[in-house]
Amino acid sequence: MSRPRRSGASRPDAPRPDMRMRVYTLGVLGGLTVLGGRLVQLQGADASQLANDALKQRTSKTTLYAKRGDILDSSGVVLATSVERRDVIADPRTIAGFNLRNGKPYEEGRGTGPEGAAALLAPVLGIDLATLTAKLTGTNRYAVVAMGITPQLWQQVSDLGISGITSRRQTQRIYPTGSASSTLVGVLGTPEETEGGEFTDRPLSGLEMARNSLLVGTDGWMRYERSAGGQEIPLGDSEITEPVDGTSLHLTIDSDLQWKAQSAIAAKVAETGAESGTVVIMDKQQRLLALASAPSLDPANLVGFTNDQLQNTALTKVFEPGSTAKVVTLAAALEEGVVTADSRFTVPGELVKYDKAFHDSHEHGDEKLTLAGILAVSSNIGTILAGEKLDADLKTTSRILHDYHLAFGFGAKTTLKFPGESGGILGDPAKYSGTQRYTVMFGQGLSVTAVQAASVFATIANDGVRVEPTLIAGTSDPNGNYRAEPGGQTSRVVSAATAKTLRDMMQSVVSEAGTAAAAEIPGYLVAGKTGTANRYDVDLGRYDGYTASFIGLAPADDPELVVAVILQDPKTNYYGGSAAGPVFKDVMTYALARRGIAPSAEPPADLPLTWGGDEAAEQSISTGAVGDTVGQ
């Protein structure tokens, strides 16, 4: 019989209290050991890393945008500059808890959160309340509320004291001269966002594009501690790398002349219904004083612009120069010593060469003209007869003339490095067709830009020495240190005597006896040449319409300035003398006064235009019964 168990007696296998205590104590000690080790790790080995991580969470980094360099004219007039603007940035997650203004409870009854913040911001920014509320609502940490506001307007926004509203500094490009120089200076489009979320300039045309690497500068950055509301902590940790502003360009351009040229050509394009128009003004050292083209665009309104409005046609559009290029043929003949200004030619009404019959602009019988008379009446046939004297072999004649074309600057781009610039079209004389050997003599079968065409006359004005055209006078760094650009390279093309003879001969063009009486300027001797050429239309693949031009220099007795006027496909009047000549007169008269150039002191050149007592030819010359010659 078993003995009854006494109450409270322990079973042999039951755990003892002291054992339980030891296990519990060991467990607590183990946990404390782990916690202590982790604490040692956090406060020792990982302390620096954790501190850096915490700092990053409350640190912001923002770009400090460099100021783009200015573009200025020769007198320091600003053509393009940058002004400070601000983008307003919101943190919608922070704004969701908006109920304070400047640390005080917001006005009762006007809402909290995005609606309350929007109610404050909308009247300041001029943004619709519903639109602004939508921008401030969400769980994201970044939203652009407004772009390009003035610093003064940003100050009003900042004064509202709304947590979660910050700004990003940027710049805006402005063009004080507007459309007058927009195709030359160029324009910037909307800044492009980079992969890193920053913004960079987007030049679209002109010098803004050509010299972007100089103008753009180098952006800096700033890192700072911010509060929970996104505001900078004044005495918090910060670091800054200052931006380096861009280099400024100083041009040879005279902004007054640029404005005059632009106004004049825009009006003539509208009057004649021309496709486009160009005016080039340069001095005899080929410093470009104006490069105007129409159509142009208003850089303050880039909505719906066309590619044509971005182009400066003085450098980008090529055309067959027509009769203005006769000056090169006659210069070659004079320089080679095969003719003189009073050399005598019998010019028939039709001249058959190769497989083509060439004519002048007006029907006539045999005319007895001097070389000066050929230029005065712009005779195609007379120019061919003079050009043939270069050599008995026509192929050699083509090569000689080609060398003069190259020397005068045809067939090659300038050193201006302007976006879209063309070098023109000048073929290999060995590959000329039978008729092209003759047409190039009077300016068809080759193409040039307006600057190349003007360069010929500037070379003649400069006693036969060609200077590579220049547009940039110098640069200045962000500290204002100016560095002049080297002048253009020089080369002699014809002798001073030949250049003088050509200037005397071209005076007869700008007279009642020549094709450009409309270009005469009272008190000044003017030398120039008209051009009315068949216009090749690339889109149509054939000749269609005309190019009307006049290029002249003044004063002819002591040359200082050259003005070239080109009209592409004018509809109401396509003759160079009557369409382009008046624009030349208007612009050149203004330029002479603007530059303070004294009137001519010498009498007009008195060169014979006819010979042999040909009364019909003399009557034709004396009454001006001639027209611009259309190249054939």
Phi-psi region of 556 (alpha: psi -120 to 50; beta: other; left: phi over 0): alpha
Confidence of residue 625 (pLDDT cuts 50, 70, 90): very low
Best mean pLDDT range from 14-23, 224-233, 456-465: 456-465
- Of the two residues 471 and 543, the one the predictor is more confident about is 471
Local structure of residue 424 (DSSP, 8 states): -
Lowest-confidence segment of 171-185, 513-527, 531-545 by average pLDDT: 531-545
**Residue 295 phi, psi dihedral angles, 5° rounding:** -75, 160
What would the two tokens of residue 13 be? 């296998």
Rounded Cα distance, 470 and 289, in Å: 9
Q: Share the mean pLDDT of the chain.
A: 87
Average pLDDT over residues 534-539: 85
pLDDT higher than threshold 50 for residue 487: yes
**Which of 482, 476, 457 minimizes the C-alpha distance to 467?**
457
Place of tokens 């919608």: 92
Residue 62: its pLDDT value, please? 72
**Which of 606, 338, 325 minimizes the C-alpha distance to 498?**
338
* Residue pLDDT, tens place only, 2-14: 455 554 445 555 5
Best mean pLDDT range from 22-26, 105-109, 224-228: 22-26
Neighbouring-strand partners of residue 432: none
- Of the two residues 474 and 64, the one the predictor is more confident about is 474
Average pLDDT over residues 162-184: 89
Question: What architecture is the 255-297+312-469+488-622 domain classified under in CATH?
Answer: 3-Layer(aba) Sandwich (3.40)
What would the two tokens of residue 427 be? 């073929």
Q: Which amino acid is at 411?
A: G
* Burial class of residue 28 (count of CB atoms within 10 Å of its CB; 0-12, 13-18, 19+): exposed
* Residue pLDDT, tens place only, 60-110: 667 777 889 999 999 999 999 998 888 899 999 889 888 755 455 555 445
pLDDT higher than threshold 90 for residue 248: yes
* Burial class of residue 52 (count of CB atoms within 10 Å of its CB; 0-12, 13-18, 19+): exposed
Best mean pLDDT range from 31-45, 88-102, 502-516: 502-516
Residue 306: its pLDDT value, please? 85
pLDDT higher than threshold 50 for residue 545: yes
* Residue pLDDT, tens place only, 381-438: 999 999 999 999 999 999 999 999 999 999 999 999 999 999 999 999 999 999 999 9
pLDDT higher than threshold 70 for residue 195: no
Confidence of residue 227 (pLDDT cuts 50, 70, 90): low
Residue 18: its pLDDT value, please? 72
Question: What Cα–Cα distance (Å) separates residue 237 from each residue in 94, 226, 227?
Answer: 22, 9, 12
Local structure of residue 224 (DSSP, 8 states): E
pLDDT higher than threshold 60 for residue 481: yes
Question: What Cα–Cα distance (Å) separates residue 284 from each residue in 126, 412, 545, 554?
Answer: 54, 20, 32, 10
* Residue pLDDT, tens place only, 306-319: 888 899 999 999 99
Place of tokens 């209290």: 17
Rounded Cα distance, 28 and 32, in Å: 6
pLDDT higher than threshold 90 for residue 33: no
- Asked whether the beta carbons of 563 and 281 are under 8 A apart, the reply is yes
What CATH topology corresponds to 61-83+171-192+202-251? Penicillin-binding protein 2a (Domain 2) (3.90.1310)
Rounded Cα distance, 274 and 610, in Å: 36
- Of the two residues 9 and 279, the one the predictor is more confident about is 279
Lowest-confidence segment of 27-31, 37-41, 185-189, 575-579 by average pLDDT: 37-41
Rounded Cα distance, 190 and 172, in Å: 10
Q: Which helix (H) or strand (E) holds 63?
A: strand 59-64
Burial readout 451-462 (b: 16 or more C-beta within 10 A, e: otherwise): bbbbbbbbbbbb
pLDDT higher than threshold 90 for residue 347: yes
Domain with CATH 3.90.1310.10 in the chain: 61-83+171-192+202-251
Angle among Cα 142, 144, 145 to the nearest 5 degrees reads: 120
Instruction: Name the packing angle between helices 113-125 and 129-136 (round to 10°).
Output: 130
